[in-house]
Chain A
Amino acid sequence: MTTTLEKPRPAEAGIEKFDAEAVNSKENRSLYEARKKIHPKRADGFFRRFKWWIMALTLGIYYLTPWIRWDRGSGAPDQAVLVDMANRRFYFFFIEIWPHEFFYVAGLLVMAGIGLFLVTSTLGRAWCGYTCPQTVWVDLFLVVERYFEGDRNARIKLDAAPWSGSKITKRVSKHVVWLLIGIATGGAWIFYFADAPTLFVDLFNGNAIPEAYITVAILTATTYVFGGFMREQVCTYMCPWPRIQAAMLDEHSLTVTYNGWRGEPRSRHAKRLRAKGEIIGDCVDCNACVAVCPMGIDIRDGQQMECITCALCIDACDGVMSKLGLEKGLIAYSTLDDFSANMQLAGASGSMTDITGTKVFDQVQPQRVRGADGGLVDAIRTTDWRTLMRLRNYLYAVIYGGIGLALLVVLALRDTLEVNVLPSRNPLYVTLSDGSIRNGYEIKILNMRGETRQFWIETEGLPGAVMKLAGSENKATDSLLVEVPADRLRALKLFVTMPLDALSESRTQFSFRITALRGAETTSTATRFEAPPEISK
């Protein structure tokens, strides 16, 4: 049985061993400490390339969106995405949201919540590892840092080196570029709230409002500090997300996993030990996974709150494994369920906590997961897309899609006319000299079209009623024609008068019907007509 392990392995000479220490590894966590600087090494591989694309996409969306133009005709802004605070309007391409339609935003927030459930239960902390602005901007800041100061080892050396002309040059250039990125970040934010080209010019001329400069300054400061200095501290100590997400993960969620069942027992001296006939695992303890980790943890400690699942350790380890001629995936996306099954296969026993922790690593017998040909045995569970296909995820997907569809339907069918009627309550009614009763109403007509429209106002269920606008010299009539400018709300004060003998109740329910002169869009709003209590017998 031990013979299988005698299989000769390719030389390990080509594998670089890093003198890396996980600054946040378990034994290094002190009671109370200042932040220890992490120097992530550049990783190469599938996930790193994937993350470059994600970075380009997310930063591109963020910086460029305000510059997209969208023609809405004259009088309306031509910016595709615009939050118009002054006019209380939100524009998103062909969609225009009014304040009273804010439930769309509530709907989007519900979708975002369900989306979080969906993504977390299927892909684990994918948000943290790939798309979170903190992750993306830290990545960007690291690119700058690497450009000026070199990769991990060079940076460590530079930190230790005494101050010199070249050190100052490197540091100053780095911080200047960081600050420029910060300014660009803060600058891009405010473009979402005003016409971007105009504001851009105003910002440089000094003509923009103080709030714009203050916002840019605050966001510049936060970008610079969070991206340059605080980095992983933001995730670990400031962000509630990791804790919320941790609560939503289950044993079937994807996590970045060190597959100890084939890695243990790890050794730096694999060749020598193996020559002595000792059985050892695949992990050569090269610390590549630690060197690339932006969070400063050792993934081999098991599941940790600090891990943002950026998967760079997978890239690092895969590179090592392929140089060793071993299967990739010593560190891989896996689920706790698969992991513990494989651990048991490798001879580890104990509770789920024991297995998913690092406690039972010394029970691992790697020869149990290797077949006669030296490859991994078939009984090993591998995690693939089929793992994601489970009821919980389907349910989330259906709810997510359902809400999205409902919002789209509501959006497609929404009215471009909105009417609000507020009966006057003080006084409720006025007796006129001829004995007739007059009620006052405030009617708000919202014309949500880009054209001026005329509307007929009529009463329904109040025969004999005549009306006139407050302040109008005209004779009261049974209907009124009013004009509402494009994209505006018009509030009208209206008096409705009823002859006393036409009323039989002290309160009569009726409706105002508002109909567009052209297009005949119509809406009916219920209200009431108040009269003296004496008349209801």
Chain B
Amino acid sequence: MSENEIDETTGVDTTGHEWDGIKELNNPLPRWWLWTFYATIVFAVGYMLYYPAIPLLQGSTMGISGQTNRLQLKNEMAAVNEARQEQVALLRESDLETIQGSEQMARFASAGGASLFKVYCTQCHGSGAAGGPGYPNLNDDDWLWGGDLESIYTSIAHGIRNSEDDDARDSQMPAFGADGILDLDQIGAVTEYVLKLSGQEHDAALAQTGQPVFEENCVACHGEGGLGDREFGGPNLADAISLYGNTRATIRAQIIRPQQGVMPPWVDRLGEAGIKQLAIYVHGLGGGEKAKPE
């Protein structure tokens, strides 16, 4: 099969391989090409000795460089953290207003806050911070505990209704139905009144009955006219935003047996600088408020 034969047209040896009449010519390979090939082999051997290469039952040979991708990543991450130390220290020392006022610090804080948010906050608040039933939307202009930098900072640092942090924000709405404080007729009437407050369709007669019940039981926390009171974390009932839903059924359920969300404290885990970065980020989502003058 592999008898040498000379191709007539070119006068070159053939390899004896033939496909449908097309024969493979045995043209000479330039010798430098061969040397290049040997050079790549030498390089490969060197590479194999220098870097981790041969898989073993446990791990692999480490190579004389001792360099692995994981180690490189670790070193690079350490270098990045090292490079950020100065900025982070500056954040720790500066107050929130100063950070927001400096373009460079604000950019650093906002970017850092965004990535912290993605790791620690999206589980409840969603990746776009849009929240969901029971989890506040951080993009809007309705704040339970205040939307200025300082208030946001406190909420993140100490959390809400948790037992781990003594400074956690706390508020409790009584279970008006489950604990028998109000009877079902009263609850029905108050529900109509709350619907009226937020400008929705309601039974006017029942709402009128509900008004005194509301004033007697609810105003203490939810304020006159249901406008809310951030001091006590009392939600505004008159606006278009509600945490647990704005329908007759959800309002009624919330009065009978209220759900109350819990948020852990973060300051021990993320540190002063981390909380400040998150506060700047959340404040910049669109609903941030100016601090009220004392």
CB nearest neighbor in A for B8: A359
CB nearest neighbor in B for A440: B286
A332 CB to nearest B CB, Å: 25
Could you say which of B28-36, B57-65, B161-169 contacts chain A?
B28-36
Q: Which of A30, A233, A433 contacts B140 (CB 8 A)?
A: A433
Residues of A whose CB lies within 8 Å of any CB of B are 26-27, 29-35, 230, 233, 236-237, 353, 357, 424-427, 430-435, 438, 440, 470-471, 473, 495, 500
CB nearest neighbor in A for B240: A435
Cβ–Cβ contact B239 & A33, under 8 A? no
A502 CB to nearest B CB, Å: 15
Cβ–Cβ contact A495 & B31, under 8 A? no
CB nearest neighbor in A for B12: A29
Cβ–Cβ contact A237 & B236, under 8 A? no
**B209 interface residue per 8 A CB criterion:** no
CB-CB under 8 A from B191, the residues of chain A are none
Q: Which of B238-294 contact A (CB under 8 A)?
A: 239-241, 284, 286-288, 290
18 cross-chain CB contacts under 8 A: A29-B28, A31-B26, A32-B28, A32-B29, A34-B32, A35-B32, A237-B33, A357-B9, A430-B130, A430-B286, A431-B241, A433-B140, A433-B236, A433-B241, A438-B140, A440-B286, A470-B286, A495-B286
Cβ–Cβ contact A34 & B33, under 8 A? no
Residues of B whose CB lies within 8 Å of any CB of A are 9, 11-13, 26, 28-33, 126-130, 137, 139-142, 199, 236, 239-241, 284, 286-288, 290
A427-B137, A431-B140, A432-B142 given; 18 more Cβ-contact pairs under 8 Å: A29-B12, A32-B28, A32-B29, A33-B30, A34-B31, A236-B30, A353-B9, A430-B130, A430-B137, A430-B287, A431-B240, A432-B140, A433-B239, A433-B241, A434-B239, A438-B139, A440-B286, A500-B240
Cβ–Cβ contact B31 & A32, under 8 A? yes
Contacts between chains A and B (CB distance < 8 A), count = 79
A29 to B33, CA, bound (A): 17
A457 CB to nearest B CB, Å: 17
CB nearest neighbor in B for A435: B240
* A237-B33, A426-B127, A495-B286 known; A433 vs B28 contact (CB < 8 Å): no
A471 to B9, CA, bound (A): 79
CB-CB under 8 A from A35, the residues of chain B are 30-32
A26 to B137, CA, bound (A): 82
CB-CB under 8 A from B199, the residues of chain A are 435
CB-CB under 8 A from A473, the residues of chain B are 290
Cβ–Cβ contact A233 & B30, under 8 A? yes
Q: Closest 9 interchain pairs by CB?
A: A426-B128, A427-B130, A433-B239, A435-B240, A34-B31, A430-B139, A32-B28, A427-B128, A433-B142
CB-CB under 8 A from A430, the residues of chain B are 130, 137, 139-140, 286-287
Cβ–Cβ contact A432 & B284, under 8 A? no
B123 CB to nearest A CB, Å: 15
CB-CB under 8 A from A424, the residues of chain B are 128
Q: Which of A27, A230, A353, A425 contacts B32 (CB 8 A)?
A: A230
A514 CB to nearest B CB, Å: 22
B154 CB to nearest A CB, Å: 21
A268 to B127, CA, bound (A): 89
CB-CB under 8 A from B241, the residues of chain A are 431-433
Cβ–Cβ contact B30 & A237, under 8 A? yes
CB nearest neighbor in B for A233: B30
A236 to B28, CA, bound (A): 12
Q: Which of B32, B33, B128, B284 contacts A470 (CB 8 A)?
A: B284
B112 CB to nearest A CB, Å: 16
CB-CB under 8 A from A230, the residues of chain B are 32
A430 to B285, CA, bound (A): 11
B12 CB to nearest A CB, Å: 7
B281 CB to nearest A CB, Å: 11
A143 to B157, CA, bound (A): 77
A133 CB to nearest B CB, Å: 20
CB-CB under 8 A from B30, the residues of chain A are 33-35, 233, 236-237
Q: Which of A233, A237, A353, A471 contacts B284 (CB 8 A)?
A: A471
Which interface residue of A236, A427, A432 has the most chain B CB atoms within 10 A? A427
Cβ–Cβ contact B141 & A432, under 8 A? yes
CB-CB under 8 A from B29, the residues of chain A are 32
CB-CB under 8 A from A432, the residues of chain B are 140-142, 240-241
Cβ–Cβ contact A31 & B28, under 8 A? yes
A27 to B126, CA, bound (A): 78
A495 to B286, CA, bound (A): 8
CB-CB under 8 A from A27, the residues of chain B are 11
Which interface residue of B12, B129, B140, B286 has the most chain A CB atoms within 10 A? B286
CB-CB under 8 A from B288, the residues of chain A are 471
CB nearest neighbor in A for B11: A26
CB nearest neighbor in B for A471: B284
CB-CB under 8 A from B130, the residues of chain A are 426-427, 430
A29 to B126, CA, bound (A): 73
A187 CB to nearest B CB, Å: 26
A183 to B114, CA, bound (A): 49
CB-CB under 8 A from B9, the residues of chain A are 353, 357
CB-CB under 8 A from A233, the residues of chain B are 30, 32
CB-CB under 8 A from B287, the residues of chain A are 430
A92 to B137, CA, bound (A): 51
A295 to B172, CA, bound (A): 93
CB nearest neighbor in A for B106: A471
A473 to B290, CA, bound (A): 8
CB-CB under 8 A from A470, the residues of chain B are 284, 286
B188 CB to nearest A CB, Å: 25
CB nearest neighbor in B for A495: B286
CB nearest neighbor in B for A425: B128
A473 to B284, CA, bound (A): 11
A141 to B29, CA, bound (A): 26
CB nearest neighbor in A for B228: A433
A432 to B141, CA, bound (A): 6
B227 CB to nearest A CB, Å: 10
CB-CB under 8 A from B137, the residues of chain A are 427, 430-431
CB nearest neighbor in A for B286: A495
* A237-B33, A353-B9, A430-B139 known; A30 vs B286 contact (CB < 8 Å): no
CB nearest neighbor in A for B280: A471
A30 to B29, CA, bound (A): 10
B118 CB to nearest A CB, Å: 11
* A237-B33, A433-B140, A470-B286 known; A31 vs B240 contact (CB < 8 Å): no
A500 to B32, CA, bound (A): 77
CB-CB under 8 A from B286, the residues of chain A are 430, 438, 440, 470, 495
B14 CB to nearest A CB, Å: 12
A353 to B130, CA, bound (A): 77
A471 to B289, CA, bound (A): 10
CB-CB under 8 A from B26, the residues of chain A are 31
A431 to B240, CA, bound (A): 7
